[in-house]
Structure 1
Amino acid sequence: MVNFSYDAGMINQLLLSANFNDYFKLDSTSIGLIVAVVNVGNLLASPIVGPLMDWWGRKKAIWFSNFLAVIGVAIQASAQNIGMLLAGRAILGFSLGISGVCGPTLVAETIQGRLYSLTTNSSMLGLPLVGVIVSAACISMYNSGSAWAWRGIMLGEAICPLLSSLFLACTPESPRWLLFKNRPEEARQVLEKMHHTKEVDRDVLILKEFEEMAQTIQFERQNDETTRALVAKPSDRRRFLIAILTNVFYQTSGANTLPYFFTPVLSSIGVTDTNIILYVNLGLTAWGVCSLASGLWMTCRLGSKTIMLTNTCLMTICLALLAIFTALGPDGGRGHGALATIFIFWWASCSCWMILEYTYPIEILRFSLRGKGTALAQMVGYAFQLTINYTLPMALEKISWKFYVINASWDALIVALIWLLFVEIKGRTLEEVDALFDGDVHFHLTQDIEIIHGIREEESMSESKG
């Protein structure tokens, strides 16, 4: 899944390489196409991801995604013409469409109790870390006259899926999926592995989590499990709508489009020296690591909805400032102001949307609809990203600062929609989130389990306050 970040950083830096541009004879239209074709692959994968991961399992679906990623990388790295390059990137996009759903889902469904949110969000830290590595590698590639410099950078995109396949060998399958497939003993064994052997009341906690999962999934079996169920009930319609909006907002707020085009954005504010752009891009990706790390802390402390509201407000202000700086020109220190604004925008984006776009929909959709709903929601988001990535280079060229005004106006509307429609899920397990939409949870624990778990929670809260 970190290949999302690798790909964005790679393309952003390759656009600075005269060797790469001359080899494929690129212009603003073909640049947009090279970026957008990945989204075509994402779109083609989306309808099959849900059924695939529900039928085959989360782990096998990720393995399949990794296999496709290696094939796509091999084709794009050996491309002899732009058609071959686009074909490889489309296959790569197809693989990313699968891993972007299955990876966060496996983490969220496997980690114990209320720690799932922190752990799932933390797994996103790999995105900017990989971006730093590829940006640093591209700096060494820039002055090389050999085509193998940029081909080598492209070939490096196979490293992450290969490592992922190795790590998957010692990763358990989702206990919720195992229960859904009537394999309760295997599910219980996974829960036992996820709890430390010296943990206080370990057996009670395992039993509590097992009963919550088993009873909730049994309840869902009594309902429609097809894709149609996403819009059958008001509560599920709201869940699905929020999942769609999360993906659309991520793609249209500037959070996922500007990273691909930092190079032309920097040029639009007067930063044209190639060496400076290379190091600014590296600085932005390194800043992204710090930003996402701070976002993990803020999300756990303040909650997902609060972070979405505050950070999107900040992004709106930054886009408005970029419009002003770009319209007035880089003279008189305005170029430095615009550059500082870009760094603030990137912090607001990485500490919010880069995390929650992948994790928030998974956390609000119920189990039987999680794979299908997340995949279809991402499909809508990819459709928006496809359009934006193809048109953004031309928009920056044709309407310049007016693009930032349009984007800022849209982000202001995003803030209003988040306030009205989204829910706060802080401190709840995946099964407990049902109460926010259905009015109640769908499990009933025995009194002994509830009492012991309640005592331990009170003791934990007292210790943290003390």
Structure 2
Amino acid sequence: MAANKTEPIALTETRSIDAYKHDADNIEEVVIARLTEEEIFKLSEEAFSWKSMAALRIAGIMFVQGCNQAGYGVDWGVISGINSYKSWHNYLHFSNDSTTYATLNALMSIGNICGAPFQTFADVIGRRGINWVGNFIVIVAAILQGCAQNMPMFMAGRFLLGFGSAIMSSPQYMAEVAPAHLRGRLVGIFGSCFQVGSVIMLAAMVGFTDLSDSNNWQWRVPLLLEAMFPLIVCVFIYILTPESPRWLVMKGKIAQAREVIAKHHTVSEDVNAPLVDAVIRQIEDSLESDRILNRQWWNWTVFVTKAARYRFLILILYAIFQQWNGGGIITYYLSPMLDQIGITSPRDQLGWNLGLTLVYWLFTLIGATFIDKFRRRTLIFTSLILFAILQTAATLTSWQYNTAGQPLAAVGLTITWVFLFQMASASLIAIMHNLYPVEVLALPLRAKGLGMFSLLQGVCGVIQTYGIQVGIEKLGYKIWAVYVGYNLCQLVASFFIFPETYGLSLEEIDAVFETPGVRPVKMSLDIQKAKNEKQRLDDEARGIPAKTGLRKVWKYL
């Protein structure tokens, strides 16, 4: 007997799930019924303990991959920090808001664009292999920049830095190696390491302001130190981190994949443990034979297939969202932005830069603790609304400073809005930069997809770099108003296009995008409703009181 659209799927149904799935009248109900199962998360919680060798091994992975992320983030602090040094500008002959500075920032993004396609080699040499190569290239780039004798040599270093950074696949690796019940938290903490290098470097650079403007070591040392974290990664990545079990399964190395999962996800380290069986089965289910085209590392035509087009659209919008939300002003153009409100001393500018970076790091850590408590769409919508409000406030107080005799209160308020922007960005969005793009990509698409995402980020970064430079030059403080309009447009686009991925395993999300006849956003929200209803019924069966009031509202956030 076939189920109809108003009937739930019976557990004793003799008709196969696969046959039922392709019945146009029943597609949505079948997928929802299959996705409400959360046994793998429960198995993961039961099998893992923080007081075990598995936890120690996870800590080793976090150390190496945290250094990987810190090495990528160091340049954020260094390039914005040395922009306050006259010695750097005097040696290379340009100003802190010139087209040359925009070009130096753009070269990093251009390197990202050129390096991004090579990230697909993660499917050939492994996740660790591609990370090692990327970090080695960054070491070479740091030496070129720190030892630069002229502008062409410095530019070559900037390009190589972007190229090497593009092929670091740590976000992909962390999402694939983390235990299921800890994935969001570990990826969030990993993302927060981005600021660690910047904080250390900016603190040192405040001290370097005591050196004379003719001392070129003032800017050379920070650039050379960009090699510190990548060097740690190159030394320890093959010692402390295993290969991704998902990559091992893709290569047919099932026994090795079982060993990795057992050692890093379970206390018992039993390769035949129920969790190990469940994870291996989950990975294998996502690698069915009809996706063989996607596993050809050299074939990028998969992004024009029907199953991948919607994912590609999300990658485009999320890359734009990440690059163009207004954070670029603080990241790369803080010095000229502070000039707009009368803060011109190099020490003062570096001090504010350090403070902003510390706040960003702290709130990224805070965000990592609750990323698994809120839906992804809730975090995105909240951040965009706050961005628009705070950027409106910054526009008004900057206007007050420039038209009312430069009152000190306007300076203080503008700085306050910028700090609040950093808090919102760090706690709501930064924690998802390394998670949401991974979640929306199917396993066979992941290496190529993240390479494409890096390429898109690079393109957006180049446009942003020149756009901000021109904007500050032509509009001054009014550039904040441009971002207000953009973030409101992004809010509308996100509402209609970004599906919910909270609470679903990486493989289960495939059904959201690949189930025919159902819009991904609607499908993802229906799955969430089904999960909440299942939880309510389970609670009733166990005699747990139904959630009311604020507790009921919290469940839907």
What TM-score does the superposition give when structure 1 sets the normalisation length? 0.90
Aligned equivalent of 1:11 = 79
Deviation of 1:328 (Å): 2.2
Match runs of 1:98-177 below 5 Å: 98-99=167-168, 102-145=169-212, 146-169=215-238, 170-177=240-247
Structure whose alpha-carbon radius of gyration is higher = 2
Equivalence map 1:353-432=2 (5 Å): 353-432=429-508
Whether contact under 8 Å (2:340, 2:476) holds in the other structure is yes
Question: Are 1:68 and 2:140 an aligned pair?
Answer: no
Which residue of the partner structure matches residue 370 of structure 2? 298
Which deviates the most, 206-215 or 390-399?
A: 390-399
Percentage identity across paired residues of the two chains: 27
Among candidates 422, 426, 434, match of residue 350 of structure 1:
426
Q: Which residue of 1 aligns with 2:303?
A: 230
Mapped to 2, the partners of 1:256 and 1:367 lie a distance apart of: 31
Hey, what does 2:100 align to over in structure 1? 30
- Aligned residues of 2:127 and 2:243 also touching (Cα < 8 A): yes
Q: Which moved more, 1:141-150 or 1:131-140?
A: 141-150
| Equivalent-residue separation in structure 1 for 2:399 and 2:345 (angstroms) | 20
Query: For residue 252 of structure 1, what is the aligned residue in structure 2?
Result: 324
For 1:293 and 1:153, locate their aligned partners in 2 and report how far apart those are by CA, in whole Å: 25
Q: Tell me the distance in 1 between the aligned counterparts of 2:340 and 2:115.
A: 35
Whole-angstrom CA distance in 1 between matches of 2:255 and 2:303: 30
> 2:523 corresponds to which residue?
none
Q: CA deviation at 1:282?
A: 1.1
Report the AA paired with residue 267 of structure 2. Answer: T
Code of the aligned partner of 1:320: T
CA distance in 2, matches of 1:166, 1:432: 36
Shift in alpha-carbon separation, 1:15–1:320, aligned structure 2, 3 A: same
Q: Is 1:109–1:174's contact at 8 Å kept on the other side of the alignment? A: yes
CA root-mean-square deviation = 2.5
Give SS of 2:384's match.
Answer: helix
Q: By how many angstroms is 1:285 displaced? A: 0.8
CA contact (8 A) 1:425 1:433 kept: yes
Map of 2:382 onto structure 1: 310
Alignment of 1:41 with 2:102, yes or no, is no
Given the alignment, which residue of 338, 343, 353 partners 1:281? 353
CA pair 257-338 structure 1, distance change in 2 beyond 3 A: closer
SS for the counterpart of 2:266 is coil
Partner in structure 1 of residue 549 of structure 2: none
AA matched with 2:427: S
Per-residue deviation at 1:370?
A: 0.9
Question: Amino acid of the residue matched to residue 19 of structure 1?
Answer: S
Contact 2:501 2:509 in 1 (8 A): yes
SS of equivalent residue, structure 1 residue 22: helix
Return the alpha-carbon distance in structure 1 between the equivalents of residues 364 and 479 of structure 2.
Answer: 26
Whole-angstrom distance in 1 between the partners of 2:118 and 2:77? 28
Letter in 2 for 1:36: A
User: What SS does the corresponding residue of 1:378 show, helix, strand or coil?
Assistant: helix
Can you list the C-alpha shifts for 1:112-166, whole angstroms capped at 9, x where unaligned?
2242222122201111222211110111111213212321111100011111123
Q: Which runs of 5+ in 1 are unaligned?
A: 441-453
State the 1:326 CA deviation.
1.8
CA gap 1:348/1:296 in 2 versus in 1, 3 angstroms = same
Contact residue 114 and residue 428 of structure 1 kept, 8 A = no
Counterpart of 2:279, as a letter, is E
Shift of 1:256: 4.0
In the aligned structure 1, how far is the partner of 2:477 from the partner of 2:397? Answer: 8
Question: Which blocks of at least 5 consecutive residues in structure 2 are unaligned?
Answer: 1-68, 517-533, 546-557
Q: Normalising by the residue count of structure 2, what TM-score does the alignment of the two structures yield?
A: 0.76
Whether the 8 Å CA contact 1:247–1:357 is kept in 2: the answer is no
Distance 2:361 2:138 in 1: 24
Per-residue deviation at 1:358?
Answer: 2.6
Question: Distance between the aligned counterparts of 1:198 and 1:253, measured in 2?
Answer: 46
Query: In the alignment, which residue of structure 1 is the partner of 2:509?
Result: 433
1:248-299 deviations in Å (ceiling 9; x for gaps): 1111112345311112112212222333222111111110111111221332
Q: State the partner residue of 1:448.
A: none
Distance 2:89 2:259 in 1: 53
Query: Taking structure 1 as reference, are residues 205 and 68 closer, same or farther at Cα in structure 2, changes over 3 Å only?
Result: same
Task: Check whether the contact 1:295–1:350 (CA below 8 A) recurs between aligned residues.
Answer: yes
Q: What's the secondary structure of 2:454's corresponding residue?
A: helix
Say whether the 8 Å CA contact 1:255–1:353 is kept in structure 2: no
| Amino acid corresponding to residue 48 of structure 1 in structure 2 | F
Q: Is the 8 A contact 1:116 1:429 kept in 2?
A: no
Question: Which shows bigger deviation, 256-265 or 245-254?
Answer: 256-265
Q: 3-state DSSP class of the match of 2:500?
A: coil
Q: How far did 1:199 drift?
A: 8.6
Are residues 1:339 and 2:339 paired? no
Rounded Cα–Cα distance in structure 1 between residues aligned with 2:347 and 2:136: 36
Q: 1:278 to 1:222 in 2, by over 3 A?
A: closer
C-alpha contact (below 8 Å) 1:128/1:285 kept by paired residues: yes
Structure 2 counterpart of 1:197, from 257, 267, 277: 267
Q: Alignment length, in residue pairs?
A: 445
Is the contact made by 2:328 and 2:464 (CA closer than 8 Å) also made in structure 1? no
| Alpha-carbon distance change, 228 to 114 in structure 1, aligned in 2, over 3 angstroms | farther
Q: How far off is 1:67 after superposition?
A: 1.1
- 1:92 alignment counterpart: 161
Contact 1:396 1:403 in 2 (8 A): yes
- Partner of residue 188 from structure 1, selected from 258, 266, 273: 258
* Counterpart for residue 261 of structure 1: 333
Counterpart contact for 1:114–1:429, Cα < 8 Å: no
Q: Is the 1:175–1:188 Cα contact (8 Å) retained in structure 2? A: yes
